[in-house]
């Protein structure tokens, strides 16, 4: 094991270019190093860590940025899946207590923002998101989550955080921001770190009210929790947004929708709901906990698209204006 430690310390300490392909390929012939299949696995795991550190260090020296997917393809032969790369990078972030962006890594574009907002950067450049029209702006194209030196200019009152891209597009096409003074943002399901960080920055820098709109189902509530508290890793907790309110769909709202649009809960849904009911964050909010219990007791879920069975524009013309005017959020 001393030999392994020497290899790692030498390559990480000196930040030399290390040819892991030749090294790992030679292990099957070198019984002195291998000794056992367990030791071989240990060495291969160290090779994975070293190779990722090597690629990141090289990118930093050149001033380049990488996506996690690019990082995987630098040594795809060494990894069984993308998740192995993600796990190692997450460990780096937690051990060093710095976000992934500090390594020169950024996520593939995921989140989108639309509405009346202008971002003014430190070099005096600016981006007027409203000018981009109904397509909105891809968040990683306009926003560096490691750079707080920009100004947010907006005169809206609300930030609508939308669970699904389809509903985001529906609202943008109907120019919801001209009916309600709002910005719209979506993480297309579970949001990435850039989307959550931008949501957090908008709330902190502008002081506007943030409202989450998602399906009435366990998946939608879990996505809401991801915005509220982030996930378990260090970097994600930096982008937590505990001040987001839960606008809907609420159980009471589903009574407006024809019963034939309701979907029976699966066993997986019911199991997830049991966990949610016992979740500390949910238990702290009695009203939200009751929403989960009502979903479980009545054994159905409901999607936002179901409002279109009433009218194609019911969501944008009646449901959202009414909910916001009456301030019926949790």
Q: How far apart are CA 267 and CA 276, in angstroms?
A: 14
The token duo for 142 is 């306009």
* CATH assignment at residue 98: 1.10.10
Nearest to 257 by CA among 288, 220, 303: 303
Question: Considering 70, 103, 136, which residue would you say is the last residue of a domain?
Answer: 103
Give me the residues paired with residue 153 across strands.
118
Contact between residue 212 and residue 227 where contact means Cβ atoms under 8 Å apart: yes
Q: Do 221 and 314 fall within a single domain?
A: yes
pLDDT tens digits for the chain (330 residues)?
444 444 444 444 444 444 444 544 554 444 444 455 666 677 788 888 888 888 888 888 877 777 787 888 887 888 888 888 888 888 888 888 877 777 878 666 689 999 999 988 877 778 899 988 888 998 875 666 556 677 899 999 999 999 999 999 999 999 999 999 999 999 999 998 889 989 999 999 999 999 999 999 999 999 999 999 976 665 666 788 999 999 999 999 999 999 999 999 999 999 999 999 999 999 999 999 999 999 999 999 999 999 999 999 999 999 999 999 999 999
Residues in the chain: 330
Q: Do 138 and 90 fall within a single domain?
A: no
Q: How far apart are CA 309 and CA 184, in angstroms?
A: 23
Question: Considering 55, 72, 103, which residue would you say is the last residue of a domain?
Answer: 103
Q: Is residue 10 part of a domain?
A: no
* CATH assignment at residue 153: 3.40.1360.10
3 state DSSP class of 112: strand
Q: Do 200 and 320 fall within a single domain?
A: yes
Nearest to 324 by CA among 166, 159, 154, 114: 159
Global pTM exceeds 0.75: no
Q: Do 230 and 286 fall within a single domain?
A: yes
Question: Considering 47, 79, 103, which residue would you say is the last residue of a domain?
Answer: 103
Cis, peptide link before residue 249, omega less than 30° from 0: yes
Q: Do 213 and 243 fall within a single domain?
A: yes
Q: How far apart are CA 230 and CA 219, in angstroms?
A: 15
150 an active-site residue? no
Counting the structural domains of the chain, the total is 2
Residue 69's domain comprises 35-103
How many Cβ atoms sit within 10 Å of the Cβ of residue 301?
Answer: 22
Choosing from 32, 72, 73, 245, which is the catalytic residue? Answer: 73
Q: Do 87 and 215 fall within a single domain?
A: no
Which residues, 6 or more positions from 282, have their beta carbon under 8 angstroms from its beta carbon? 221, 225, 276, 288, 289, 292
Q: Do 43 and 166 fall within a single domain?
A: no
DSSP string, 167-210: HHHHHHHTTGGGTSSEEEEE-SSS--HHHHHHHHHHHHHH-PEE
Q: Do 184 and 314 fall within a single domain?
A: yes
Which residues, 6 or more positions from 71, have their beta carbon under 8 angstroms from its beta carbon? 52, 55, 56, 85, 89, 105
């Amino acid at each position: 094991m001393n030999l392994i430690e020497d290899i790692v310390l030498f390559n990480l300490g000196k930040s030399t270019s290390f040819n892991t392909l030749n090294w790992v390929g030679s292990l099957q012939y070198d019984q002195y190093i291998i000794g056992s299949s367990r030791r071989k696995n240990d060495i291969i795991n160290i090779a994975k860590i070293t190779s990722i550190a090597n690629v990141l260090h090289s990118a930093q020296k050149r001033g380049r940025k990488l996506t996690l997917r690019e990082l995987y393809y630098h040594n795809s032969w060494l990894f069984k899946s993308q998740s192995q790369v993600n796990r190692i990078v997450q460990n780096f972030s937690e051990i060093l207590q710095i976000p992934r962006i500090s390594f020169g890594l950024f996520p593939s574009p995921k989140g989108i923002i639309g509405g009346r907002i202008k971002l003014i950067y430190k070099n005096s450049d600016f981006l007027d998101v409203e000018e981009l029209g109904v397509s909105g702006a891809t968040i990683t194209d306009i926003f560096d989550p490691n750079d707080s030196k920009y100004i947010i200019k907006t005169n809206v009152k609300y930030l609508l955080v939308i669970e699904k891209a389809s509903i985001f597009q529906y609202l943008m096409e109907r120019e919801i921001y001209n009916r309600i003074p709002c910005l719209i943002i979506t993480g297309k399901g579970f949001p990435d770190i850039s989307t959550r960080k931008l949501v957090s920055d908008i709330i902190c820098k502008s002081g506007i009210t943030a409202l989450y709109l998602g399906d009435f189902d366990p998946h939608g509530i879990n996505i809401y929790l991801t915005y509220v508290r982030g996930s378990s890793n260090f970097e994600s907790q930096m982008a937590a947004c505990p001040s987001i309110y839960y606008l809907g769909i609420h159980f009471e709202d589903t009574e407006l929708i024809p019963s034939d649009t309701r979907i029976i809960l699966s066993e997986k849904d019911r199991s997830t709901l049991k966990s949610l009911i016992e979740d500390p964050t949910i238990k702290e909010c009695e009203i939200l906990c009751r929403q989960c219990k009502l979903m479980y007791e009545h054994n159905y879920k409901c999607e936002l698209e179901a409002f279109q069975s009433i009218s194609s524009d019911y969501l944008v013309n009646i449901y959202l204006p009414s909910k916001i005017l009456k301030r019926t959020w949790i």
